[in-house]
Structure 1
Amino acid sequence: MKGIYNGKDYFELEALVESWSEDRGILDKATPMAQALKTLEETTELCVAVNSEDRIEIIDSIGDILVTLIIQCQLQDLKIEQCLESAYKVIAKRKGKMINGQFVKEESLPEGMVAGDDIPDDYRMD
């Protein structure tokens, strides 16, 4: 699937990010924890953009998060596709319930509640 960036696909862009991080010396000096904090910073920016419904900033923030995760994968000698596949294998058959606009996995539902139960829209999980 081709994107809007000069016709490059995801894998080409991922390789460009990996090269960029090497060329800038990020891999030589970054630590996994510092990179995780950078991901958190970019995620906070995404929350601000979503809250203000700023589509341009949402796109930028999601891209920035992907960049930080690709670099984290380099630091951990992983590929992001490997991590995504691992996560999908865990969630593929997961059951849960939508509560206040968020999917809550069945094992995290309040005691006695199961995925098929009716839950009021204003239910709050503590």
Structure 2
Amino acid sequence: MANQEQLQQLTQIYSLVTQCYNQPLTGLAVNLPQCQLMSYVAAEHLSVAQVAQKLGFSATRTSNLVVDLCKRGYLKQRVAPNDRRRRYLGLTKLGEEKLTLIEQQLPEILDQTLTELRGTTREFG
């Protein structure tokens, strides 16, 4: 049977990574996948399927992220003129402002999270 301390360490590491990745980041109110999505859309003219491929997510999960960001006013969707089934994404003015804030604050948030994660691994190492 695995050592209880090792299991506890792994659980703490997993919790930190999951929290950082899936929970809204403090001060930003968006999670990392949403930050990535907005960054990809700002850099390129992408469809939902293309964003899903870049994120490594299913179409359903990506679509849910897109719907949430659209409801919050950060993204807009446009139907492709040559294929009405395809939707392309773009940032709204509010989305551009949010992305600027993300670009300013995210490095520090990630540094803090990685420092905490390294501390957790040293506790048990």
Q: Same fold (TM over 0.5)?
A: no
Flag the structure with higher strand content. 2
**Larger RCO of the pair (alpha carbons < 8 Å, separation 6+):** 2
More helix by share: 2
Q: TM-score, normalised by structure 1?
A: 0.27
Task: Compute the TM-score of the two structures, normalised by the length of structure 2.
Answer: 0.27
